[in-house]
Amino acid sequence: MKLLSVNIGHPIPSHWRTASQTGIDKRPVSEPVQVSAPGPMGDGSVGLAGDRVFDVDHHGGTDQAVYAYAREDLDFWEPRLGRSLPNGVFGENLTTSGVDVNEALIGERWRIGDEVVLEVTRPRIPCSTFAGWLDRKGWAKEFTQVALPGPYFRVLTPGAIRGGDGIEVLSRPDHQVTIALAFRAMTLEPALLPELLVADALPVADMSKIRRRLKV
């Protein structure tokens, strides 16, 4: 299991959301990239150095500090979309190889390289910026139906990473709530929502929304 590339956003005008710019145009960089964790009071910038987030109401922050997508899943999409999909094109910070990112458990912890430790938090939910960026009609529905969302992470241990670093799964929680299951529950299969209640590492906002929907 390894990190194929670290991808940093290039700000471009946003025609799809209220933010004037978006950082979804992410491209691989060859140099090491510093990954920051929250300060002791939960303050300070988090995520990859140089990777600007503009729509802060829906992206970034402690629970969505880093986003990963598998090269194998990009390869799956290429014939469907009829075009080449370079690393970073789905807006992912990390393009991986040899790991099924959608079978990662909520709360699973990864070490990347020698220093950085990340914790899986939630699946990516497609938005209008994603659809607009790919310029594909019905993309949000298509992406949702295929259910290969990729995971977000929070940063537990900061440090530097670069393309070629190894990925090691340090620990897995004692439940079966995968990224794929959480995505299906949050989108097309709400009957699965009760299964998510055991996933303590889900962001507080997600768990609160789930409890409201279930009235528990």
pLDDT (tens digit per residue) in 153-203: 999 999 999 999 999 999 999 999 999 999 999 999 999 999 999 999 999
pTM for the full predicted model: 0.92
- With tokens 């009829």, the residue in question is 82
Residue 41 has pLDDT above 50, yes or no: no
Distance CA 124, CA 85 (A): 18
Q: Are 175 and 105 in contact (CB under 8 A)?
A: yes
Upper half-sphere CA count for residue 33 (Cβ side, 13 Å):
25
For the chain, the domains span 2-214
Residue 90 has pLDDT above 90, yes or no: yes
φ, ψ for residue 81, nearest 5 deg: -90, -15
Just give the CATH number of 2-214. 2.40.33.20
